Structure 1
């Protein structure tokens, strides 16, 4: 059994004939075309920086109860989301691939493989070259995937993770990256200009003018001999000796160089489009820059992951009982040690952190009995404070209007 058959062997195709889905806004098909944006080094570096950080998100099945208590859910689902979503990649690879497709095509797809009982057994990112949205006789929506090898498969949309960016003109798909094309073309032109400037500086150095007539063959021999004798590294003295039959006229080539501000302006346009800064790309960020990047780029995508995986893995009844998928990351791991220590000092007295949670913030291993919460005696619960105040009020003697004590 090949890989394709193994992945889709339990996929349920639509019963009967299908027809193209009627979409209110825009078309009903998707093509994985990005204008070769990934070939641009600036764009690829930015997308890679985002995808590497998105891939560190931790997906978990959690159950939230009516009293807001939260507990860990199915361990099998957690293993799929955190370690091995399928036999061919790790959880890091899966999230990296989905994030890369998300920013390249503004659409990312993954197939949720389920067994006969509807339980999740695998997650497979899909890199299709074309997708048609079709419906069956009952109106259920399906995705007709066509892959680069020529194979195709029809999957229920309910079993497909679909992440969208720039979700505007189409009811099912994110818009393309046409808005970025001018910046990418400008970046390509700059690269070509730099290469051309380097080449032009190494081509024509001077003119060897003959004051006497000579045929073409003799001129070529004179040119080759002059280059060999005087324009090579072996001419250590740097001096050329010629007779009165020739005259050498050097050319002062000043190749055009692209201004650094122009190069930076193109970078900034691409980075701004992706919601990332250069400090994140070259890993020179501080904790404030990281916090801004996380909140503006990573966290929105984590919310998308959480909602999409939740509604596609669990049915309506399971969601009503508090089942959900949560993708989260330890944001404090990028904070300075001073920030971490101050945070622990502020939160520990209130009993908000366990010993092991405090150690995790400091990137230290957990300890035995580390689930205990420490709390200062200067802080008590509101109920205990009320009891204390009432007890104190009952112990004091009451005074009359004139200030006399009375029983």
Structure 2
């Protein structure tokens, strides 16, 4: 990776003089990854994975909207956004990684590689050891990244894709995940407690007490002989015969066990922190639960990504002419067959869907000449309805 970074940034010209940015909160705008190892928690990782897997199915598109009409934008830009953002990742990989960084560090960064004319060439997700915002004498904002291999690069803020979560304490960065650290520690303690309880049941179950003093070697030999004779499955009768020289004292170990309610309470705190339900994690959700998850988690994330990409890829003039990036998903694909049928039955007569769009909702392949709309004759435009009521007289 360091060699890749060197090839990627070797042409970047460092600004002559920059100073650290102190934001309005009074603290420097410096980012360091969360050190709580949240991703090492199986509960936290499974929850983040569930969000990232679904967010990665979003489709990013360059569109041009003018006069209320939306049309597809540049095909080369759409290929970068939808297929291959860089030579080593698919669009799914990029969105998955950025979403994972977003929930692990509450900050996600990517380098928007552009050519001399400002056209996007590739998108590279960044995983720095640290990052700080800088500003030069002209007021231009920069971001200085330090990576694990010691590579350091300073990029103009206009070429850095950045999204933030828990955006409160710092004016340029999201707050760290320290609020969930006690819960993650508790989840780790629970796992260790269960492991120790299992181990305790497999250790000492009794004391063999001798009435005379024995050497360590003789004591060990007597213990091994007692185990082989009485504490194996070959002792079918379950009876041990001892003389007066020794006494066996059984131990009743009652290790502390964690009940299901305690385990579920800790798990639920992590899910609540991430804003999802357990059914989303284990993929047992119904239509209503999926809709709630999409609207509360996926849709806000898609809006953040859309606004950031639009601002970083297009100039204010280009945006004024309707250029934007949208991240969307066909939500009806997750609806039940009954809901899909009812929607098509109610809306297709109004001409709101083409034939191929209706087939896509039903997860069926498109057909030739399917990009046309069908409309019932019972529905007419408002102008023609006025002409019909007035008998063709506009007065």
TM-score, normalised on structure 1?
0.93
CA distance in 2, matches of 1:307, 1:291: 22
CA distance in 1, matches of 2:10, 2:322: 31
CA distance in 2, matches of 1:288, 1:240: 63
Q: What secondary structure is seen at the aligned counterpart in 2 of 1:142? A: strand
Instruction: Please state if 1:321 is matched with 2:324.
Output: no
Which deviates further from its counterpart, 238-247 or 124-133? Answer: 238-247
Instruction: Please state if 1:62 is matched with 2:63.
Output: yes
Which residue in the other structure is 1:118 paired with?
Answer: 118
Which residue in the other structure is 1:97 paired with?
Answer: 97
- 1:2-17 equivalent positions in 2, closer than 5 A: 2-14=3-15, 16-17=16-17
Which residue in the other structure is 1:49 paired with?
Answer: 50
Is 1:10–1:114's contact at 8 Å kept on the other side of the alignment?
A: no
CA distance in 2, matches of 1:5, 1:203: 55
Is 1:34–1:105's contact at 8 Å kept on the other side of the alignment?
A: no
Pairwise CA distance, 1:252: 1.7
Q: What secondary structure is seen at the aligned counterpart in 1 of 2:34? A: coil
CA distance in 2, matches of 1:87, 1:228: 64
Is 1:200–1:255's contact at 8 Å kept on the other side of the alignment?
A: yes
Q: How many residues align?
A: 392
Pairwise CA distance, 1:375: 1.1
Is 1:12–1:156's contact at 8 Å kept on the other side of the alignment?
A: no
Which deviates further from its counterpart, 184-193 or 227-236? Answer: 227-236
Moved over 4 A (4+): none
Pairwise CA distance, 1:355: 0.6
CA offset digits 1:144-182 (Å, max 9, x no partner) = 100011111000011000000000111100011111111
Which residue in the other structure is 1:364 paired with?
Answer: 364
- Structure 1 residues 9 and 72: CA distance shift in structure 2, 3 A: farther
Which stretches in structure 2 are left out of the alignment for 5+ residues? none
CA distance in 1, matches of 2:312, 2:13: 15
Is 2:21–2:28's contact at 8 Å kept on the other side of the alignment?
A: no
Which residue in the other structure is 1:244 paired with?
Answer: 244
- Structure 1 residues 34 and 54: CA distance shift in structure 2, 3 A: farther
Pairwise CA distance, 1:217: 2.7
Is 2:34–2:177's contact at 8 Å kept on the other side of the alignment?
A: no
Which residue in the other structure is 2:88 paired with?
Answer: 88
Is 1:134–1:144's contact at 8 Å kept on the other side of the alignment?
A: yes
Pairwise CA distance, 1:243: 2.5
Which residue in the other structure is 2:380 paired with?
Answer: 380
CA distance in 2, matches of 1:30, 1:312: 21
Is 1:211–1:244's contact at 8 Å kept on the other side of the alignment?
A: yes
Q: What secondary structure is seen at the aligned counterpart in 1 of 2:256? A: coil
- 1:4-403 equivalent positions in 2, closer than 5 A: 4-14=5-15, 16-25=16-25, 26-65=27-66, 67-391=67-391
Is 2:65–2:323's contact at 8 Å kept on the other side of the alignment?
A: yes
Is 2:108–2:162's contact at 8 Å kept on the other side of the alignment?
A: yes
Is 2:161–2:309's contact at 8 Å kept on the other side of the alignment?
A: yes
RMSD: 1.5
CA distance in 2, matches of 1:205, 1:22: 63
Which stretches in structure 1 are left out of the alignment for 5+ residues? 395-407
Is 1:34–1:176's contact at 8 Å kept on the other side of the alignment?
A: no
Q: What secondary structure is seen at the aligned counterpart in 1 of 2:374? A: strand
Q: What secondary structure is seen at the aligned counterpart in 1 of 2:379? A: coil
Report the structure number with the largest CA radius of gyration. 1
CA distance in 2, matches of 1:197, 1:5: 51
CA offset digits 1:256-289 (Å, max 9, x no partner) = 1101000000000000000110000001111111
